[in-house]
Structure 1
Amino acid sequence: MTTITKQNLPPVGHAFAGSAGAMFALALVYPLDIIKTRIQVQAKHDKVDAKEQEHYDSAWDGICQIVAKDGLSGLYAGLGSSLIGTASTNFTYFYCYSFIREQYNAKFNNARGGTLSTGMELLLGAAAGALTTLITTPVSVVTTRQQTLPANERQGVIETCKTIVAEEGVAGLWRGIRPSLVLCVNPAITYGSFEKIKQMVLQLLHTNVLSSGAAFGVGALSKTLATIITYPYIMAKVRMQWKPSKEMEGKVVAYKGALDVLARVLKQEGFLGWYKGMSTQITKAVLSQALLFMMKDIFTNYTVLAYALLKNAKK
């Protein structure tokens, strides 16, 4: 009977470990997630007086404004749907990535699951990301609405879904799908660079296993690289999924697509407008991704242990 190890853990095992690690990471950095989302949708609108437009000078300023207006609970608005989204996204991604990688290794006789080329890592990551995006975009749309609408207009997950379908049709749940698919290169860059940087670190340290601290550092570096490259499209996707509050209705012209978002931001705010809120995005993304890699490694150990216990119980 084959002994279950990290190397031959089934895709569903990696999926459980990855989603558990991602949920743990999100719970720790969630206030930053709300701040970065609100900063990303804070645009200059010609028909709206500057005093009517919410504006944060920094992440700390955003936290202070939200607490003053909605209390501490305001920093966790939409946490439920975010956890659902994070769990489903990461479970799907890690399952697809592990499954595709496993099939590739089997087909091309890479039985030990060794290091792949950078191009192949990116290709496998992008394929897994595309499948994940098609499945989980509705949760992303719901989360964005819950994070950006005022407290008096905010609804639960099911109610938000019903409202979107009623006002925009079923297609509204997949709003922003095109830039989301383009952004599949983000996890591809993240995981591809993670694997490559990991191999270099392992060689430098002359070891076969990364410590939790080293995994944190490698994860942070790989996510920073991916975020800088893809940030304009991240901002465009969020603005497409955003819905103005009732007091802003009729004063904001709806975006036609990602390119329309980028063109209007460039015209109204200049090139730097494409990177509005990037520091908060990077802080949140790097912390959560680094924590994810670190916690996934820990949860993977527990998953391997759980498989071993289940096998012993069946004997």
Structure 2
Amino acid sequence: MSSAVANGFAGAGGGLIAQILTYPLQTVNTRQQTERVIKKGLDGQHATSPSGNQCPVGTLFQMLQVIKNEGWGGLYSGLKPSLFGTVASQGVYYYFYQVFKNKAVAIAAARKAKGLGDGNVGMISWLAVAAIAGSLNVLLTNPMWVLVTRMQTQTQAERNILERKRVALLKEASQNSDIASTIQDKLAELESSKPRPYGTLQAAAEVYNEAGIRGFWKGIVPTLIMVCNPSIQFMIYETSMRSLKEKRATNKNGVKPITVLEVFLLGAVAKLGATVVTYPLLVVKSRLQAKQDIGSNVSLRYSGTFDAIVKMIRYEGLLGFYKGMSTKILQSVFAASVLFMVKEELVKAFMILTEKSRKIRLDAIK
């Protein structure tokens, strides 16, 4: 088994485990990112969402609210396509990452043989390797993440729509007492309505009906720009790992192998740095991929990446780009740490099995 294939399988396995462990945090974070909150002053009142709710509260409280309103299943909305997307995404990414990494290492070695450089791959090369692998991954797997975002935020969007209808009915009743009884019937009907999560096929049909095939690549511009996230992440990780190995190599007591805990910590530090830098793009991407039906308030409906950025700055301020960041840091850092840790162990296992298989074949030939 080649190193690229081994890394592809290992990346898929590590990503799958990390996704299952952190998915509830991811669901809450996506809802935090896509909840519109108009900043104080634009409407003459305190900051509110389009549904009239006050500003979002803490992560734990939101998780409890989801469980209360939707059950435990609400925290796992869109899990199936997400797991499929994770396996495909991590597999594609790590496969191409290893392919281009091997080429970068070979080029560095060839340059050293010619007396150019020290044989190490530089930071710019690591960034380029990760960027190319990330771009290929994004173009191939973006449709799956559009569906996941829709499924994670569908009940939230439906609840906002019901709340706006309720507010409109109350306003109508206050202006015309003659239709009060009719309004009460409609209000009772709304109260009995409960948003329910929809399935993958329903989400796909909704996306297609809204924008056709192009709808499955919504948010592709900020997503492609966000390729710099794993690029930064892997630059930090690979550089830190190389420094640690070089430091261990100079140890007079012998070379001590890198431990699982050290890989976990290096992965956490790498992801933390990448997340802080690129989080605003993640918010824009989630806004574009989420359901755009937000009533008559067209000022918060986005036609594209630039339109979303301009309207977020105007109506929500710069803080709007960092909504739910603490949740994302917790989720992504833990997920990345688990992914790196599991991936490294799986690669070792694959290589051991490959070596044993090779020896068995050689023995059989003899």
Fold match by TM threshold 0.5: yes
Do 1:81 and 1:142's aligned partners in 2 also have CA atoms closer than 8 Å?
yes
- Equivalent residues in 2 for 1:254-265, closer than 5 Å: 254-265=301-312
The yes-or-no answer on 1:232 pairing with 2:280 is: yes
- Equivalent residues in 2 for 1:176-191, closer than 5 Å: 176-191=219-234
Give the letter aligned to residue 231 of structure 2: A
Specify every segment of 5 or more residues in structure 1 that has no aligned partner in the other structure, as ranges.
none
Partners of 1:49 and 1:278 lie apart in 2 by 18
Identity percentage of aligned residues: 29
Do 2:218 and 2:288's aligned partners in 1 also have CA atoms closer than 8 Å?
yes
The yes-or-no answer on 1:144 pairing with 2:149 is: yes
Of residues 297, 311, 314, the one that matches 1:267 is 314
Deviation string, structure 1 residues 259-295 (Cα, Å, up to 9, x no partner): 3222222222222221111111111110000111111
Do 2:135 and 2:224's aligned partners in 1 also have CA atoms closer than 8 Å?
yes
Give the letter aligned to residue 261 of structure 1: A
The yes-or-no answer on 1:126 pairing with 2:131 is: yes
Of residues 220, 223, 244, the one that matches 2:271 is 223
- Equivalent residues in 2 for 1:150-299, closer than 5 Å: 150=155, 152=195, 154-205=197-248, 206=251, 207=255, 209-244=257-292, 248-252=294-298, 253-299=300-346
Deviation string, structure 1 residues 64-102 (Cα, Å, up to 9, x no partner): 110110111111111111111111111000011111122
Paired position in structure 1 for 2:159: none
Do 1:129 and 1:187's aligned partners in 2 also have CA atoms closer than 8 Å?
yes
Q: What is the CA-CA distance between 1:172 and the residue it aligns to?
A: 0.3
How many positions carry a matched residue from both structures? 305
Do 2:63 and 2:75's aligned partners in 1 also have CA atoms closer than 8 Å?
yes
Distance 1:23 1:105, change over 3 A: same
Of residues 338, 348, 353, the one that matches 1:306 is 353
Specify every segment of 5 or more residues in structure 2 that has no aligned partner in the other structure, as ranges.
113-118, 156-193
SS at match of 2:303: coil
Partners of 2:211 and 2:341 lie apart in 1 by 40
Q: What is the CA-CA distance between 1:138 and the residue it aligns to?
A: 0.4
Partners of 2:296 and 2:349 lie apart in 1 by 53
The yes-or-no answer on 1:32 pairing with 2:25 is: yes
Partners of 1:270 and 1:160 lie apart in 2 by 30
Paired position in structure 1 for 2:170: none
Partners of 1:187 and 1:123 lie apart in 2 by 11
Q: What is the CA-CA distance between 1:116 and the residue it aligns to?
A: 1.1
Paired position in structure 2 for 1:14: 7
Do 1:215 and 1:290's aligned partners in 2 also have CA atoms closer than 8 Å?
yes
Partners of 2:49 and 2:35 lie apart in 1 by 13
Greater CA drift, 42-51 or 136-145: 42-51
Distance 1:310 1:234, change over 3 A: same
TM-score of the aligned structures, taking structure 1 as reference length: 0.88
Do 2:5 and 2:95's aligned partners in 1 also have CA atoms closer than 8 Å?
yes
Partners of 1:259 and 1:191 lie apart in 2 by 28
- The one of the two structures with greater contact order (alpha-carbon pairs below 8 A, sep at least 6) is 1
Partners of 2:222 and 2:150 lie apart in 1 by 17
Distance 1:111 1:93, change over 3 A: farther
Q: What is the CA-CA distance between 1:313 and the residue it aligns to?
A: 5.9
Give the letter aligned to residue 178 of structure 1: V
Q: What is the CA-CA distance between 1:24 and the residue it aligns to?
A: 0.4
Paired position in structure 1 for 2:34: 41
Partners of 2:340 and 2:273 lie apart in 1 by 15
Give the letter aligned to residue 347 of structure 2: T
Distance 1:61 1:102, change over 3 A: same
Partners of 2:263 and 2:120 lie apart in 1 by 17
Paired position in structure 2 for 1:101: 101
Do 2:104 and 2:121's aligned partners in 1 also have CA atoms closer than 8 Å?
no
Partners of 2:92 and 2:206 lie apart in 1 by 26
Do 2:14 and 2:340's aligned partners in 1 also have CA atoms closer than 8 Å?
yes
Do 2:208 and 2:216's aligned partners in 1 also have CA atoms closer than 8 Å?
yes
Do 2:135 and 2:227's aligned partners in 1 also have CA atoms closer than 8 Å?
yes
Partners of 2:201 and 2:257 lie apart in 1 by 43
Do 2:14 and 2:342's aligned partners in 1 also have CA atoms closer than 8 Å?
yes
Distance 1:271 1:121, change over 3 A: same
Q: What is the CA-CA distance between 1:50 and the residue it aligns to?
A: 5.3
